[in-house]
A and B are shown apart, each in its own frame.
Chain A
Protein backbone atom coordinates (compact mmCIF):
# COMPACT_ATOMS: atom_id res chain seq x y z
CA UNK A 1 0.00 0.00 0.00
CA UNK A 2 1.40 3.35 -0.96
CA UNK A 3 2.00 5.83 1.81
CA UNK A 4 0.89 8.92 -0.05
CA UNK A 5 -2.73 7.81 -0.32
CA UNK A 6 -2.96 6.75 3.33
CA UNK A 7 -5.14 8.65 5.79
CA UNK A 8 -2.80 7.86 8.63
CA UNK A 9 0.74 6.74 8.24
CA UNK A 10 2.27 5.52 11.47
CA UNK A 11 5.98 4.91 11.73
CA UNK A 12 8.02 3.58 14.68
CA UNK A 13 5.57 4.86 17.26
CA UNK A 14 6.78 4.31 20.85
CA UNK A 15 4.76 5.37 23.88
CA UNK A 16 5.56 5.25 27.59
CA UNK A 17 3.39 5.72 30.65
CA UNK A 18 6.09 6.97 32.99
CA UNK A 19 8.63 4.16 32.95
CA UNK A 20 6.58 1.41 31.37
CA UNK A 21 6.42 1.18 27.61
CA UNK A 22 2.88 0.72 26.29
CA UNK A 23 3.54 0.89 22.53
CA UNK A 24 6.59 -0.46 20.75
CA UNK A 25 7.60 0.55 17.23
CA UNK A 26 4.12 0.57 15.76
CA UNK A 27 4.28 0.93 11.97
CA UNK A 28 1.38 0.69 9.51
CA UNK A 29 -0.96 2.72 7.29
CA UNK A 30 -4.67 3.35 7.58
CA UNK A 31 -6.47 3.78 4.25
CA UNK A 32 -9.23 6.35 3.67
CA UNK A 33 -12.88 5.26 3.63
CA UNK A 34 -12.18 1.94 5.21
CA UNK A 35 -12.94 0.46 8.56
CA UNK A 36 -9.80 -0.62 10.37
CA UNK A 37 -10.28 -2.84 13.39
CA UNK A 38 -7.71 -3.12 16.15
CA UNK A 39 -7.93 -6.28 18.18
CA UNK A 40 -5.98 -7.86 20.97
CA UNK A 41 -6.26 -8.81 24.66
CA UNK A 42 -6.88 -6.18 27.36
CA UNK A 43 -3.89 -4.02 28.13
CA UNK A 44 -2.24 -4.73 24.77
CA UNK A 45 -2.09 -1.02 23.91
CA UNK A 46 -4.81 -0.87 21.24
CA UNK A 47 -6.82 1.79 23.06
CA UNK A 48 -3.68 3.74 23.89
CA UNK A 49 -2.77 3.66 20.22
CA UNK A 50 -6.23 4.86 19.19
CA UNK A 51 -6.05 7.74 21.64
CA UNK A 52 -2.78 8.83 20.05
CA UNK A 53 -4.46 9.42 16.69
CA UNK A 54 -6.34 12.43 18.07
CA UNK A 55 -3.80 13.02 20.82
CA UNK A 56 -6.17 12.34 23.72
CA UNK A 57 -3.09 10.98 25.47
CA UNK A 58 -1.97 14.60 25.89
CA UNK A 59 -4.42 14.75 28.80
CA UNK A 60 -2.37 12.21 30.73
CA UNK A 61 0.65 13.84 32.34
CA UNK A 62 3.04 10.94 32.37
CA UNK A 63 2.79 9.98 28.70
CA UNK A 64 5.89 10.30 26.49
CA UNK A 65 5.77 9.60 22.76
CA UNK A 66 8.38 8.97 20.04
CA UNK A 67 8.10 8.24 16.35
CA UNK A 68 5.82 9.76 13.75
CA UNK A 69 2.14 9.75 12.90
CA UNK A 70 1.22 11.44 9.63
CA UNK A 71 -2.37 12.46 9.08
CA UNK A 72 -2.91 13.42 5.44
CA UNK A 73 0.83 13.87 5.31
CA UNK A 74 0.89 16.20 8.33
CA UNK A 75 3.00 15.20 11.32
CA UNK A 76 0.45 15.32 14.13
CA UNK A 77 2.84 14.52 16.93
CA UNK A 78 4.91 17.65 16.53
CA UNK A 79 3.69 20.04 13.92
CA UNK A 80 -0.01 20.28 14.68
CA UNK A 81 -2.73 22.11 16.53
CA UNK A 82 -4.47 19.54 18.74
CA UNK A 83 -7.74 21.44 18.89
CA UNK A 84 -7.99 21.48 15.10
CA UNK A 85 -6.89 17.86 14.89
CA UNK A 86 -9.66 16.73 17.22
CA UNK A 87 -12.28 18.45 15.08
CA UNK A 88 -11.09 16.43 12.12
CA UNK A 89 -10.50 13.23 14.01
CA UNK A 90 -13.56 12.53 16.13
CA UNK A 91 -13.81 9.92 18.85
CA UNK A 92 -16.51 7.71 20.33
CA UNK A 93 -15.77 6.20 23.72
CA UNK A 94 -16.27 2.84 25.35
CA UNK A 95 -18.87 4.11 27.81
CA UNK A 96 -21.49 6.42 26.33
CA UNK A 97 -20.64 9.85 27.73
CA UNK A 98 -23.46 12.25 26.90
CA UNK A 99 -23.16 15.64 28.61
CA UNK A 100 -25.77 16.31 31.28
CA UNK A 101 -27.78 18.59 29.00
CA UNK A 102 -30.56 18.18 26.44
CA UNK A 103 -30.27 15.89 23.43
CA UNK A 104 -30.26 18.93 21.17
CA UNK A 105 -27.55 20.70 23.16
CA UNK A 106 -25.40 17.60 23.14
CA UNK A 107 -25.37 17.49 19.36
CA UNK A 108 -25.14 21.27 19.03
CA UNK A 109 -22.19 21.39 21.44
CA UNK A 110 -19.46 20.97 18.82
CA UNK A 111 -21.00 23.17 16.11
CA UNK A 112 -21.44 25.92 18.69
CA UNK A 113 -17.81 25.61 19.79
CA UNK A 114 -16.51 25.88 16.29
CA UNK A 115 -19.03 28.36 14.95
CA UNK A 116 -20.25 25.99 12.26
CA UNK A 117 -23.65 27.65 12.14
CA UNK A 118 -23.16 31.30 11.29
CA UNK A 119 -24.93 34.13 9.56
CA UNK A 120 -28.38 35.54 10.03
CA UNK A 121 -30.15 32.22 9.99
CA UNK A 122 -27.74 30.53 12.35
CA UNK A 123 -30.49 29.09 14.52
CA UNK A 124 -32.04 27.40 11.52
CA UNK A 125 -28.60 26.29 10.37
CA UNK A 126 -27.87 24.78 13.75
CA UNK A 127 -31.22 22.99 13.78
CA UNK A 128 -30.32 21.51 10.41
CA UNK A 129 -26.91 20.33 11.54
CA UNK A 130 -28.43 18.70 14.63
CA UNK A 131 -31.15 16.98 12.62
CA UNK A 132 -28.77 15.82 9.91
CA UNK A 133 -26.35 14.40 12.47
CA UNK A 134 -29.07 12.59 14.35
CA UNK A 135 -30.49 11.15 11.12
CA UNK A 136 -27.04 10.05 10.10
CA UNK A 137 -26.56 8.33 13.45
CA UNK A 138 -29.93 6.58 13.00
CA UNK A 139 -31.32 8.16 16.13
CA UNK A 140 -33.50 10.98 14.84
CA UNK A 141 -36.80 9.09 14.69
CA UNK A 142 -36.42 7.91 18.27
CA UNK A 143 -35.71 11.32 19.75
CA UNK A 144 -37.38 13.88 17.49
CA UNK A 145 -40.18 14.46 19.99
CA UNK A 146 -37.92 15.02 22.94
CA UNK A 147 -35.00 16.98 21.59
CA UNK A 148 -34.99 19.30 24.58
CA UNK A 149 -35.20 16.60 27.22
CA UNK A 150 -32.10 15.49 29.11
CA UNK A 151 -29.84 13.14 27.21
CA UNK A 152 -29.34 11.13 30.40
CA UNK A 153 -32.87 9.77 29.98
CA UNK A 154 -31.93 7.81 26.86
CA UNK A 155 -31.08 4.12 26.92
CA UNK A 156 -27.44 3.06 26.72
CA UNK A 157 -27.62 2.26 23.00
CA UNK A 158 -29.39 5.52 22.26
CA UNK A 159 -26.82 7.40 24.30
CA UNK A 160 -24.02 5.85 22.28
CA UNK A 161 -25.68 6.77 18.99
CA UNK A 162 -26.15 10.27 20.40
CA UNK A 163 -22.41 10.38 21.03
CA UNK A 164 -21.85 9.33 17.43
CA UNK A 165 -24.23 12.07 16.25
CA UNK A 166 -22.37 14.52 18.45
CA UNK A 167 -19.13 13.65 16.70
CA UNK A 168 -20.69 13.75 13.20
CA UNK A 169 -22.03 17.23 13.91
CA UNK A 170 -18.54 18.74 13.88
CA UNK A 171 -18.05 17.35 10.36
CA UNK A 172 -15.01 15.22 11.03
CA UNK A 173 -12.98 13.27 8.55
CA UNK A 174 -12.04 10.30 10.71
CA UNK A 175 -13.99 8.46 13.40
CA UNK A 176 -12.09 6.73 16.18
CA UNK A 177 -14.17 4.26 18.14
CA UNK A 178 -12.91 2.78 21.37
CA UNK A 179 -14.92 -0.40 21.98
CA UNK A 180 -18.12 1.50 21.20
CA UNK A 181 -20.44 -1.44 21.79
CA UNK A 182 -18.84 -3.14 24.76
CA UNK A 183 -21.30 -1.56 27.19
CA UNK A 184 -24.35 -2.24 25.04
CA UNK A 185 -26.91 -5.00 24.54
CA UNK A 186 -26.88 -7.12 21.34
CA UNK A 187 -29.72 -5.21 19.65
CA UNK A 188 -28.05 -1.83 20.17
CA UNK A 189 -24.79 -3.37 19.03
CA UNK A 190 -26.37 -4.55 15.80
CA UNK A 191 -27.81 -1.10 15.16
CA UNK A 192 -24.43 0.53 15.59
CA UNK A 193 -22.68 -2.06 13.43
CA UNK A 194 -25.06 -1.50 10.53
CA UNK A 195 -24.52 2.21 11.02
CA UNK A 196 -20.77 1.77 10.64
CA UNK A 197 -21.13 0.28 7.19
CA UNK A 198 -23.10 3.31 6.14
CA UNK A 199 -20.68 5.78 7.71
CA UNK A 200 -17.61 4.42 6.01
CA UNK A 201 -18.70 5.89 2.67
CA UNK A 202 -17.99 9.30 4.10
CA UNK A 203 -15.49 8.72 6.87
CA UNK A 204 -12.38 6.77 7.68
CA UNK A 205 -13.13 4.62 10.70
CA UNK A 206 -10.74 3.06 13.18
CA UNK A 207 -12.42 0.82 15.72
CA UNK A 208 -10.92 -0.88 18.74
CA UNK A 209 -12.85 -3.97 19.68
CA UNK A 210 -12.76 -6.82 22.08
CA UNK A 211 -15.21 -8.72 20.08
CA UNK A 212 -13.58 -10.66 17.25
CA UNK A 213 -16.82 -11.49 15.49
CA UNK A 214 -17.46 -7.78 15.36
CA UNK A 215 -14.05 -7.12 13.83
CA UNK A 216 -14.72 -9.83 11.28
CA UNK A 217 -18.18 -8.49 10.46
CA UNK A 218 -17.47 -4.81 10.04
CA UNK A 219 -13.83 -4.19 9.18
CA UNK A 220 -11.85 -4.08 5.95
CA UNK A 221 -8.45 -4.24 7.59
CA UNK A 222 -7.43 -5.60 10.97
CA UNK A 223 -4.42 -5.08 13.18
CA UNK A 224 -3.56 -7.43 16.01
CA UNK A 225 -1.88 -5.95 19.08
CA UNK A 226 -0.06 -7.90 21.76
CA UNK A 227 1.84 -6.42 24.72
CA UNK A 228 2.35 -3.11 22.99
CA UNK A 229 3.39 -4.49 19.65
CA UNK A 230 1.54 -4.66 16.38
CA UNK A 231 1.96 -8.34 15.66
CA UNK A 232 0.22 -8.36 12.33
CA UNK A 233 -1.72 -6.03 10.10
CA UNK A 234 -3.56 -6.84 6.89
CA UNK A 235 -6.87 -7.39 5.18
CA UNK A 236 -9.41 -8.66 7.66
CA UNK A 237 -10.00 -11.86 5.71
CA UNK A 238 -6.27 -12.60 5.65
CA UNK A 239 -5.89 -11.97 9.37
CA UNK A 240 -8.82 -14.19 10.25
CA UNK A 241 -8.36 -17.02 7.80
CA UNK A 242 -4.70 -16.82 6.84
CA UNK A 243 -2.69 -15.37 9.69
CA UNK A 244 1.03 -15.28 9.09
CA UNK A 245 2.07 -15.05 12.71
CA UNK A 246 1.44 -17.97 15.05
CA UNK A 247 0.47 -15.58 17.88
CA UNK A 248 -2.28 -14.10 15.73
CA UNK A 249 -3.48 -17.58 14.96
CA UNK A 250 -3.60 -18.51 18.66
CA UNK A 251 -5.51 -15.36 19.52
CA UNK A 252 -7.98 -15.74 16.66
CA UNK A 253 -8.62 -19.33 17.59
CA UNK A 254 -9.24 -18.20 21.16
CA UNK A 255 -6.20 -19.59 22.90
CA UNK A 256 -5.50 -16.42 24.90
CA UNK A 257 -7.13 -13.07 25.62
Chain B
Protein backbone atom coordinates (compact mmCIF):
# COMPACT_ATOMS: atom_id res chain seq x y z
CA UNK B 1 0.00 0.00 0.00
CA UNK B 2 2.77 2.42 0.83
CA UNK B 3 5.09 1.39 -1.98
CA UNK B 4 4.26 4.55 -3.89
CA UNK B 5 5.05 6.70 -0.95
CA UNK B 6 8.25 4.96 -0.05
CA UNK B 7 9.74 5.29 -3.52
CA UNK B 8 12.58 7.76 -3.42
CA UNK B 9 12.44 7.94 0.31
CA UNK B 10 15.51 6.17 1.62
CA UNK B 11 14.57 6.95 5.26
CA UNK B 12 12.00 4.21 5.10
CA UNK B 13 14.59 1.65 4.04
CA UNK B 14 16.90 2.77 6.80
CA UNK B 15 13.99 2.38 9.18
CA UNK B 16 13.38 -1.12 7.90
CA UNK B 17 16.90 -2.15 8.84
CA UNK B 18 16.40 -0.72 12.31
CA UNK B 19 13.11 -2.58 12.59
CA UNK B 20 14.83 -5.80 11.65
CA UNK B 21 17.72 -5.27 14.07
CA UNK B 22 15.29 -4.38 16.84
CA UNK B 23 13.27 -7.50 16.23
CA UNK B 24 16.44 -9.56 16.20
CA UNK B 25 17.70 -8.04 19.46
CA UNK B 26 14.43 -8.68 21.29
CA UNK B 27 14.20 -12.23 19.95
CA UNK B 28 17.80 -13.00 20.97
CA UNK B 29 17.17 -11.58 24.44
CA UNK B 30 14.18 -13.86 24.81
CA UNK B 31 16.31 -16.81 23.75
CA UNK B 32 18.81 -16.13 26.57
CA UNK B 33 16.54 -17.82 29.07
CA UNK B 34 16.32 -20.91 26.88
CA UNK B 35 20.09 -20.99 26.47
CA UNK B 36 20.57 -20.66 30.22
CA UNK B 37 18.19 -23.52 30.89
CA UNK B 38 20.09 -25.72 28.44
CA UNK B 39 23.39 -24.67 30.06
CA UNK B 40 22.13 -25.61 33.52
CA UNK B 41 20.97 -29.02 32.40
CA UNK B 42 24.01 -29.68 30.20
CA UNK B 43 26.65 -28.79 32.78
CA UNK B 44 24.95 -30.25 35.82
CA UNK B 45 23.93 -33.33 33.85
CA UNK B 46 27.32 -34.01 32.29
CA UNK B 47 29.18 -33.42 35.54
CA UNK B 48 26.77 -35.61 37.44
CA UNK B 49 27.36 -38.69 35.28
CA UNK B 50 31.07 -38.60 36.08
CA UNK B 51 30.20 -40.06 39.46
CA UNK B 52 29.37 -43.25 37.64
CA UNK B 53 31.77 -43.04 34.68
CA UNK B 54 34.87 -41.41 36.17
CA UNK B 55 34.60 -42.25 39.84
CA UNK B 56 33.14 -45.71 39.15
CA UNK B 57 30.50 -45.63 41.85
CA UNK B 58 27.57 -47.90 41.08
CA UNK B 59 24.30 -46.00 40.85
CA UNK B 60 22.58 -48.50 43.14
CA UNK B 61 25.22 -48.03 45.81
CA UNK B 62 25.16 -44.26 45.41
CA UNK B 63 21.42 -43.91 45.83
CA UNK B 64 20.77 -46.73 48.29
CA UNK B 65 23.77 -46.66 50.57
CA UNK B 66 23.60 -44.56 53.71
CA UNK B 67 27.34 -44.40 54.26
CA UNK B 68 28.68 -40.98 53.33
CA UNK B 69 32.36 -40.52 53.92
CA UNK B 70 33.99 -37.88 51.76
CA UNK B 71 37.21 -39.90 51.43
CA UNK B 72 36.03 -43.46 51.02
CA UNK B 73 32.40 -44.10 50.32
CA UNK B 74 29.59 -41.99 48.94
CA UNK B 75 25.96 -42.96 49.50
CA UNK B 76 23.20 -40.40 49.66
CA UNK B 77 20.12 -42.33 50.75
CA UNK B 78 19.92 -40.59 54.15
CA UNK B 79 20.04 -37.18 52.50
CA UNK B 80 17.27 -38.16 50.11
CA UNK B 81 15.22 -39.33 53.08
CA UNK B 82 16.14 -36.11 54.89
CA UNK B 83 14.97 -33.93 52.01
CA UNK B 84 11.78 -35.91 51.43
CA UNK B 85 10.81 -35.92 55.10
CA UNK B 86 11.56 -32.22 55.29
CA UNK B 87 9.25 -31.55 52.34
CA UNK B 88 6.54 -33.79 53.76
CA UNK B 89 6.61 -32.38 57.27
CA UNK B 90 6.69 -28.82 55.96
CA UNK B 91 3.63 -29.58 53.83
CA UNK B 92 1.81 -31.13 56.77
CA UNK B 93 2.30 -27.85 58.61
CA UNK B 94 2.10 -25.39 55.74
CA UNK B 95 -0.82 -26.61 53.62
CA UNK B 96 -3.59 -26.49 56.25
CA UNK B 97 -2.30 -23.23 57.68
CA UNK B 98 -1.94 -21.57 54.27
CA UNK B 99 -5.39 -22.75 53.25
CA UNK B 100 -6.87 -21.39 56.45
CA UNK B 101 -5.19 -18.04 55.90
CA UNK B 102 -6.33 -17.92 52.27
CA UNK B 103 -9.91 -18.88 53.20
CA UNK B 104 -9.90 -16.28 55.95
CA UNK B 105 -8.73 -13.45 53.73
CA UNK B 106 -10.94 -14.49 50.82
CA UNK B 107 -14.18 -15.43 52.60
CA UNK B 108 -14.28 -14.57 56.27
CA UNK B 109 -12.31 -11.42 57.00
CA UNK B 110 -14.30 -8.19 57.22
CA UNK B 111 -13.69 -5.88 54.29
CA UNK B 112 -11.49 -3.38 56.14
CA UNK B 113 -9.13 -6.18 57.17
CA UNK B 114 -8.84 -7.95 53.81
CA UNK B 115 -6.39 -5.80 51.91
CA UNK B 116 -4.10 -4.78 54.78
CA UNK B 117 -3.82 -8.48 55.62
CA UNK B 118 -3.07 -9.43 52.03
CA UNK B 119 -0.41 -6.72 51.71
CA UNK B 120 1.14 -7.83 55.00
CA UNK B 121 1.34 -11.46 53.88
CA UNK B 122 2.80 -10.36 50.54
CA UNK B 123 5.54 -8.39 52.28
CA UNK B 124 6.79 -11.60 53.85
CA UNK B 125 7.35 -13.04 50.36
CA UNK B 126 10.38 -10.76 50.19
CA UNK B 127 12.03 -11.62 53.52
CA UNK B 128 15.37 -13.33 52.73
CA UNK B 129 15.79 -16.98 53.67
CA UNK B 130 18.86 -16.22 55.75
CA UNK B 131 16.64 -14.20 58.11
CA UNK B 132 14.32 -17.16 58.56
CA UNK B 133 17.38 -19.35 59.19
CA UNK B 134 18.75 -16.98 61.80
CA UNK B 135 15.37 -16.82 63.52
CA UNK B 136 15.24 -20.61 63.52
CA UNK B 137 18.71 -20.75 65.01
CA UNK B 138 18.16 -18.31 67.85
CA UNK B 139 14.47 -18.92 68.60
CA UNK B 140 13.04 -22.17 67.21
CA UNK B 141 15.96 -24.49 68.00
CA UNK B 142 16.18 -23.47 71.70
CA UNK B 143 12.39 -23.68 71.92
CA UNK B 144 12.32 -27.22 70.59
CA UNK B 145 15.36 -28.21 72.65
CA UNK B 146 13.74 -27.01 75.87
CA UNK B 147 10.38 -28.49 75.01
CA UNK B 148 11.68 -31.94 74.11
CA UNK B 149 14.03 -32.08 77.05
CA UNK B 150 11.19 -31.09 79.31
CA UNK B 151 9.12 -33.97 77.97
CA UNK B 152 11.99 -36.43 78.12
CA UNK B 153 13.05 -35.22 81.55
CA UNK B 154 16.71 -34.67 80.85
CA UNK B 155 19.10 -33.32 78.29
CA UNK B 156 18.90 -35.66 75.33
CA UNK B 157 18.11 -33.42 72.40
CA UNK B 158 20.07 -30.47 71.13
CA UNK B 159 17.06 -29.14 69.27
CA UNK B 160 18.53 -29.27 65.76
CA UNK B 161 17.04 -31.43 63.04
CA UNK B 162 13.97 -32.07 60.98
CA UNK B 163 11.39 -30.33 63.16
CA UNK B 164 12.97 -26.85 63.39
CA UNK B 165 13.84 -27.10 59.68
CA UNK B 166 10.24 -27.89 58.84
CA UNK B 167 8.98 -25.06 61.05
CA UNK B 168 11.32 -22.58 59.37
CA UNK B 169 10.43 -23.82 55.87
CA UNK B 170 6.72 -23.69 56.77
CA UNK B 171 6.87 -20.00 57.52
CA UNK B 172 8.95 -19.41 54.41
CA UNK B 173 6.54 -21.09 52.01
CA UNK B 174 3.34 -20.12 53.80
CA UNK B 175 3.02 -16.65 52.20
CA UNK B 176 3.59 -18.15 48.74
CA UNK B 177 1.06 -20.95 49.10
CA UNK B 178 -1.48 -18.71 50.85
CA UNK B 179 -1.38 -15.93 48.24
CA UNK B 180 -1.67 -18.37 45.32
CA UNK B 181 -4.53 -20.19 47.06
CA UNK B 182 -6.17 -16.83 47.71
CA UNK B 183 -5.92 -15.92 44.02
CA UNK B 184 -7.42 -19.29 43.07
CA UNK B 185 -10.35 -18.71 45.44
CA UNK B 186 -10.92 -15.21 44.13
CA UNK B 187 -11.12 -16.64 40.62
CA UNK B 188 -14.10 -18.82 41.59
CA UNK B 189 -17.17 -16.94 40.39
CA UNK B 190 -19.44 -15.36 42.97
CA UNK B 191 -22.41 -17.15 41.39
CA UNK B 192 -21.08 -20.49 42.61
CA UNK B 193 -20.97 -19.31 46.22
CA UNK B 194 -24.46 -17.83 45.85
CA UNK B 195 -25.76 -21.08 44.41
CA UNK B 196 -24.58 -22.88 47.51
CA UNK B 197 -25.83 -20.28 49.99
CA UNK B 198 -29.20 -20.22 48.24
CA UNK B 199 -29.57 -23.94 48.94
CA UNK B 200 -29.27 -23.21 52.64
CA UNK B 201 -25.61 -24.08 53.01
CA UNK B 202 -23.67 -22.47 55.83
CA UNK B 203 -20.45 -20.64 55.08
CA UNK B 204 -18.40 -23.58 56.31
CA UNK B 205 -20.28 -25.93 53.99
CA UNK B 206 -19.96 -23.56 51.04
CA UNK B 207 -16.22 -23.19 51.60
CA UNK B 208 -15.42 -26.85 52.11
CA UNK B 209 -17.82 -28.36 49.57
CA UNK B 210 -17.88 -25.83 46.75
CA UNK B 211 -15.17 -23.21 47.04
CA UNK B 212 -12.14 -25.38 47.85
CA UNK B 213 -12.98 -28.11 45.30
CA UNK B 214 -13.62 -25.47 42.63
CA UNK B 215 -10.36 -23.69 43.43
CA UNK B 216 -8.57 -27.04 43.80
CA UNK B 217 -6.30 -27.06 40.73
CA UNK B 218 -5.25 -23.46 41.38
CA UNK B 219 -4.53 -24.26 45.02
CA UNK B 220 -2.50 -27.27 43.92
CA UNK B 221 -0.20 -25.15 41.73
CA UNK B 222 0.56 -23.13 44.86
CA UNK B 223 1.22 -26.27 46.87
CA UNK B 224 3.56 -27.61 44.18
CA UNK B 225 5.44 -24.31 44.19
CA UNK B 226 5.70 -24.68 47.96
CA UNK B 227 7.13 -28.18 47.54
CA UNK B 228 9.70 -26.90 45.06
CA UNK B 229 10.79 -24.16 47.45
CA UNK B 230 10.94 -26.52 50.43
CA UNK B 231 13.04 -28.95 48.42
CA UNK B 232 15.44 -26.32 47.09
CA UNK B 233 15.78 -24.23 50.23
CA UNK B 234 19.37 -24.34 51.40
CA UNK B 235 20.59 -21.64 53.71
CA UNK B 236 17.62 -21.36 56.07
CA UNK B 237 17.61 -25.14 56.47
CA UNK B 238 21.38 -25.24 56.96
CA UNK B 239 21.08 -23.04 60.05
CA UNK B 240 18.84 -25.48 61.91
CA UNK B 241 19.04 -28.99 60.47
CA UNK B 242 22.19 -29.91 62.39
CA UNK B 243 24.26 -31.18 59.45
CA UNK B 244 24.88 -34.74 60.52
CA UNK B 245 24.87 -38.00 58.62
CA UNK B 246 21.98 -39.58 60.44
CA UNK B 247 18.42 -40.47 59.64
CA UNK B 248 16.11 -37.56 60.45
CA UNK B 249 14.26 -39.66 63.00
CA UNK B 250 14.62 -42.96 64.76
CA UNK B 251 13.91 -44.79 67.97
CA UNK B 252 15.23 -43.57 71.25
CA UNK B 253 15.62 -44.99 74.75
CA UNK B 254 14.01 -41.99 76.30
CA UNK B 255 10.46 -40.70 76.33
CA UNK B 256 8.92 -39.90 73.79
CA UNK B 257 11.00 -42.80 72.39
CA UNK B 258 11.41 -40.99 69.13
CA UNK B 259 14.75 -39.57 68.15
CA UNK B 260 14.56 -36.43 66.05
CA UNK B 261 18.08 -35.15 66.08
CA UNK B 262 20.48 -33.50 63.65
CA UNK B 263 20.27 -34.68 60.07
CA UNK B 264 20.91 -33.38 56.54
CA UNK B 265 19.07 -32.51 53.36
CA UNK B 266 20.43 -32.81 49.82
CA UNK B 267 20.84 -29.04 49.57
CA UNK B 268 22.67 -28.61 52.86
CA UNK B 269 25.10 -31.35 51.86
CA UNK B 270 25.88 -29.39 48.72
CA UNK B 271 26.39 -26.25 50.75
CA UNK B 272 28.65 -27.72 53.39
CA UNK B 273 30.69 -30.12 51.24
CA UNK B 274 31.38 -28.17 48.09
CA UNK B 275 34.20 -26.13 49.62
CA UNK B 276 36.02 -29.35 50.51
CA UNK B 277 35.71 -30.97 47.14
CA UNK B 278 38.66 -30.80 44.78
CA UNK B 279 37.69 -30.67 41.14
CA UNK B 280 37.48 -34.17 39.68
CA UNK B 281 37.39 -35.98 43.02
CA UNK B 282 34.62 -38.50 43.68
CA UNK B 283 33.16 -36.08 46.24
CA UNK B 284 33.09 -33.28 43.67
CA UNK B 285 31.35 -35.50 41.15
CA UNK B 286 28.92 -36.80 43.75
CA UNK B 287 27.88 -33.27 44.64
CA UNK B 288 27.02 -32.63 41.00
CA UNK B 289 24.98 -35.83 40.98
CA UNK B 290 23.08 -34.55 44.02
CA UNK B 291 22.48 -31.31 42.13
CA UNK B 292 21.17 -33.25 39.16
CA UNK B 293 18.78 -35.20 41.38
CA UNK B 294 17.42 -31.91 42.71
CA UNK B 295 17.21 -30.55 39.18
CA UNK B 296 15.21 -33.54 37.95
CA UNK B 297 12.81 -33.41 40.88
CA UNK B 298 12.18 -29.68 40.33
CA UNK B 299 11.56 -30.32 36.63
CA UNK B 300 9.01 -32.99 37.54
CA UNK B 301 7.36 -30.57 39.95
CA UNK B 302 7.11 -27.97 37.18
CA UNK B 303 5.46 -30.56 34.95
CA UNK B 304 2.96 -31.50 37.66
CA UNK B 305 2.22 -27.86 38.34
CA UNK B 306 1.59 -27.25 34.64
CA UNK B 307 -0.76 -30.23 34.58
CA UNK B 308 -2.76 -28.73 37.42
CA UNK B 309 -2.72 -25.32 35.78
CA UNK B 310 -4.19 -26.91 32.64
CA UNK B 311 -6.99 -28.41 34.72
CA UNK B 312 -8.07 -25.05 36.07
CA UNK B 313 -11.70 -24.29 35.26
CA UNK B 314 -11.88 -20.81 36.73
Contacts and interface: CB of A to CB of B under 8 A. Distances in A.
Direct A–B contact in the complex, CB atoms closer than 8 angstroms: yes
Contacts of A114: 200
Interface in B186-207: 189, 191-202, 205
Interface in A151-185: 152, 163, 166-167, 170
A158 to B, nearest CB: 16
Contacts of B210: 99, 109
A180 to B, nearest CB: 13
B194 A83 contact: no
B313 A54 contact: no
Given A61-B111, A109-B209, A152-B313, A99 B200 contact: no
B198 A86 contact: yes
Interface in B103-140: 110-111
Instruction: Please classify the interface of chain A as helix (H, G, I), strand (E, B), loop, or mixed, using the class held by over half of its residues.
Output: helix
Contacts of A163: 195
Contacts of B195: 93, 97-99, 163, 166
Given A99-B214, A101-B213, A113 B198 contact: no
Contact of A100 (B201, B202, B205, B213): B213
Given A61-B111, A99-B214, A100-B213, A83 B202 contact: yes
A136 interface: no
Interface in A78-107: 83-87, 90-91, 93, 95, 97-101
B198 A56 contact: yes
Contact of B194 (A97, A110, A170): A97
B194 A90 contact: no
A167 B198 contact: yes
Contacts of B214: 99-100
A54 B194 CA distance: 11
A87 B197 contact: no
Instruction: Please classify the interface of chain B as helix (H, G, I), strand (E, B), loop, or mixed, using the class held by over half of its residues.
Output: helix
Residue among A99, A101, A166 with the highest chain B CB neighbour number at 10 A: A99
A110 B199 contact: yes
A113 B201 contact: yes
Q: How large is the interface on A (under 10, 10 to 19, 20 to 34, 35 or more residues)?
A: 20 to 34
Residue among B189, B195, B197, B214 with the highest chain A CB neighbour number at 10 A: B195
B186 to A, nearest CB: 15
Contacts of B314: 100
Contacts, number: 69
Q: How large is the interface on B (under 10, 10 to 19, 20 to 34, 35 or more residues)?
A: 20 to 34
Contact of A91 (B189, B198, B202): B198
Contacts of B313: 100, 152
A1 interface: no
A59 interface: yes
A84 B196 contact: no
B210 to A, nearest CB: 5
Contacts of A152: 313
A95 B191 CA distance: 8
Contact of A113 (B110, B189, B200): B200
Interface in A93-135: 93, 95, 97-101, 109-110, 113-114
B199 A167 contact: yes
A98 B214 CA distance: 11
A87 B110 CA distance: 26
Nearest to A91: B198
B200 A56 contact: no
B185 to A, nearest CB: 13
A98 B314 CA distance: 13
B196 A59 contact: no
Contacts of B200: 83-87, 110, 113-114, 170
B289 to A, nearest CB: 43
A96 to B, nearest CB: 9
A179 to B, nearest CB: 13
Nearest to A59: B197
Nearest to A83: B200
A109 B191 contact: no
Contacts of A61: 110-111
Residue among B189, B199, B201 with the highest chain A CB neighbour number at 10 A: B199
17 contacts: A56-B194, A56-B197, A59-B193, A85-B200, A86-B197, A93-B191, A93-B195, A93-B198, A99-B195, A99-B213, A100-B192, A100-B314, A109-B196, A110-B200, A113-B201, A113-B209, A166-B199
Interface of B: 110-111, 189, 191-202, 205, 209-210, 213-214, 313-314
- The 7 A-B pairs of least Cβ separation, nearest first, read A87-B200, A91-B198, A97-B191, A86-B200, A110-B199, A97-B195, A100-B214
Interface of A: 54, 56, 59, 61, 83-87, 90-91, 93, 95, 97-101, 109-110, 113-114, 152, 163, 166-167, 170
Given A93-B194, A110-B199, 17 more contacts: A54-B198, A83-B202, A84-B200, A86-B198, A91-B194, A93-B198, A95-B191, A97-B191, A97-B194, A98-B195, A109-B199, A109-B209, A109-B210, A110-B200, A113-B201, A152-B313, A170-B200
